[in-house]
A = this chain, B = another copy of it.
Amino acid sequence: MISAKPFNFPYDGNLAAKSTALIVIDMQQDFLSETGYFAKQGYDPSRLRSILPVISKLIATCRDVGIRIIHTRQGYRSDKADMTPYEKWRRNICGIGDANVLVRGSPGFEIVPEIDVRPDDIIIDKTCNSSFTYTDLEHVLHAQDITHLIFTGCTTDVCVHTSLREACDRNFQCLTVSDACASGDQYAHEAALHMITVENGVFGTISDSYSVINGLSKIRNCSQ
């Protein structure tokens, strides 16, 4: 059980490594690099970089207890067949019309080297903000009998929140780790975390990395 608000996770106390996954959203060069897409939009990537040690610690703890790590990567198909005229127009006004950013196969699409991606991890490539829409994430989660999701990554208000909302709608049990998420927009970040708690946990429950690691350590001790 992980201490969380507005309720502990999971609600019924049945925390099991094999039915749980750590979701690490979009920790890619395009968002974290000082020369990537996000920096070009005028956002300070240092906020996003500041969660790297926290996520690394969570990844290490999850591996240790046997929780699967799932990384997502945001980017259009390399053939850009999923890019609409509207999106081309918006890339132009964002000053990245011709830039090879947020595209699979480009350097910015890669997960930053500080994140320890291993062969056993699962990687989901997505075009949408949601990790579920037009991907095989739900297929993989069901195939692996994973029902509990721990959310981390960036940005809190956009891709983390959209993925979290869709996970809740699909009845996955969801926990968001407040200090393992970040956004370029601090107001949006804080409000996104707050929104999880309205109506007694409309998007699941929220905790911090200390409590998560503490809760997970009890799983390890149990299974020894």
Interface residues of chain A, those whose CB is within 8 Å of chain B, are: 7, 11-12, 41, 77, 79, 81-87, 89-90, 93-94, 119-120, 122-123, 127-130, 133-136, 138-140, 142-144, 157-158, 161-162, 165-166, 168-171, 173, 184-185, 187-188, 191-192, 194-195, 198-202
Copies of this chain, count? 4
Closest B residue to A38 by CB, please name it. Answer: B199
Contact between A134 and B133, CB atoms less than 8 A apart: no
Q: A165-B162, A188-B194 known; A84 and B143 CB under 8 Å?
A: yes
Query: 12 new A-B pairs (CB below 8 Å) besides A133-B139, A134-B135?
Result: A90-B201, A128-B139, A129-B202, A130-B165, A133-B169, A134-B136, A134-B138, A139-B170, A157-B198, A162-B165, A187-B191, A191-B194
Interface centre among A7, A94, A165, A187 (most CB of B within 10 A): A165
Contact between A94 and B142, CB atoms less than 8 A apart: no
